């Protein structure tokens, strides 16, 4: 990868804000293409990343068919309840593991080599996150296709809203994963932190079963989990209920989480590469 073309005279002349944003976008594209090529050389990892959610669909989804009439399970078919949860789970775990790649790059010296280039420090984060998001979005499309084959029936607009929520969550989780990776710098420390954080988040978000089935105290605790609102929003969208409080709350939480996590990640990358 060559980043030399970005070191234009305009850079050293102190360009305005628009020019600075343009440089970040250009550098982000270069970093993104570098990591995308790396990912495409390892297609097996992309395919196997979608295997776990597909196993949930095939081996766990049919168990929910008898719960459709249970009070609190939610409206619609079992697939309209379960597939949105699996999509959020895919973003949570798929993007959550992104930090392992950064730790490997830290150990092999890739980060040190990028540090001496004129690339924007923010772009070093955004390029990676964009690659991670594209991979998760592709895997999400595969999960939706598998859900349709198994019996999912949802409006196109609802599926699009669900995938947008997955994209927003993937950006957020990948950014936070890189922050933790930069703090720990070791797989031995990163892995237990990742597991300890993601497992309760998955259970409290109602990914597998709606939290409306939970006892009052557990339902109340789950409301402190931002992912719950995104799961509820995706389920409402898959039902075609767009103008609801659930969709509005999920969208607001997604935007707030995205902005906060990217800002935190960019700050950490700038400090790390200063």
Structural Rg of the chain based on CA atoms: 20
Quick one: tokens of 243? 């103008």
Q: Using one digit for the tens of pLDDT, what is the confidence trace for 193-224?
A: 999 999 999 899 999 889 988 999 999 999 99
Percent pLDDT > 90 in the chain is 61
Q: Using one digit for the tens of pLDDT, what is the confidence trace for 47-70?
A: 777 788 899 999 998 888 888 888
Picking from 162, 173, 174, the residue whose alpha carbon sits closest to that of residue 231 is: 162
* pLDDT attached to residue 14: 55
Please state, in angstroms and rounded to a whole number, the distance separating the CA atoms of residues 269 and 274: 8
* pLDDT attached to residue 274: 62
Residues written for the chain = 274
The least confident of 14-18, 24-28, 140-144 is 14-18
Question: What is the maximal distance between C-alpha atoms in the chain?
Answer: 67
Q: How big is the CA angle at 120 (ends 114 and 123), to the nearest 5 degrees?
A: 85
Q: Using one digit for the tens of pLDDT, what is the confidence trace for 63-105?
A: 888 888 888 787 888 999 999 999 999 999 989 999 999 999 9
Please state, in angstroms and rounded to a whole number, the distance separating the CA atoms of residues 80 and 83: 6
SS3 207: coil
pTM above 0.85, yes or no: yes
Confidence label for 19 from pLDDT (cuts 50, 70 and 90): confident
Q: Using one digit for the tens of pLDDT, what is the confidence trace for 229-238?
A: 999 999 999 9
Confidence label for 7 from pLDDT (cuts 50, 70 and 90): very low
* pLDDT attached to residue 175: 95
* pLDDT attached to residue 10: 46
Q: Using one digit for the tens of pLDDT, what is the confidence trace for 144-156?
A: 999 999 999 999 9
Please state, in angstroms and rounded to a whole number, the distance separating the CA atoms of residues 72 and 210: 8
Average pLDDT, the chain: 88
Q: Using one digit for the tens of pLDDT, what is the confidence trace for 166-192?
A: 999 999 999 999 999 999 999 999 999
For the cut 90, the answer to whether the pLDDT of residue 162 exceeds it is: yes
Please state, in angstroms and rounded to a whole number, the distance separating the CA atoms of residues 24 and 267: 14
The least confident of 6-10, 20-24, 47-51, 138-142 is 6-10
Confidence label for 6 from pLDDT (cuts 50, 70 and 90): very low
């Amino acid at each position: 990868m060559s980043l030399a073309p970005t070191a234009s005279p305009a850079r050293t002349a102190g360009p305005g804000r628009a020019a600075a944003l343009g440089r970040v976008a250009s550098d982000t594209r270069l970093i993104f293409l570098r990591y995308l090529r790396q990912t495409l050389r390892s297609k097996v990892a992309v395919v196997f990343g979608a295997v776990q959610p597909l196993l949930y669909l095939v081996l766990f989804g049919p168990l929910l068919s008898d719960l459709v009439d249970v009070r609190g399970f939610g409206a619609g078919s079992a697939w309209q309840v379960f597939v949105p949860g699996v999509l959020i789970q895919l973003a949570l775990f798929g993007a959550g593991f992104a930090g392992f790649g950064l730790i490997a790059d830290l150990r092999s010296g890739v980060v040190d080599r990028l540090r001496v280039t004129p690339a924007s420090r923010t772009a070093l984060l955004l390029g990676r996150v964009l690659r991670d998001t594209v991979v998760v979005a592709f895997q999400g499309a595969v999960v939706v296709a598998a859900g349709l084959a198994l019996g999912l029936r949802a409006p196109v607009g609802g599926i699009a809203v669900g995938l947008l929520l997955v994209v927003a969550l993937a950006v957020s989780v990948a950014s936070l994963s890189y922050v933790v990776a930069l703090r720990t710098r070791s797989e031995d420390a990163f892995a237990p932190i990742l597991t300890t954080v993601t497992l309760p988040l998955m259970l409290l978000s109602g990914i597998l079963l709606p939290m409306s089935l939970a006892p009052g105290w557990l339902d109340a605790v789950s409301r402190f989990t931002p992912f719950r609102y995104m799961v509820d929003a995706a389920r409402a969208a898959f039902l075609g209920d767009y103008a609801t409080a659930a969709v509005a709350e999920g969208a607001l939480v997604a935007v707030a989480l995205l902005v906060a996590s990217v800002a935190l990640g960019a700050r950490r990358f700038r400090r790390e590469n200063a």
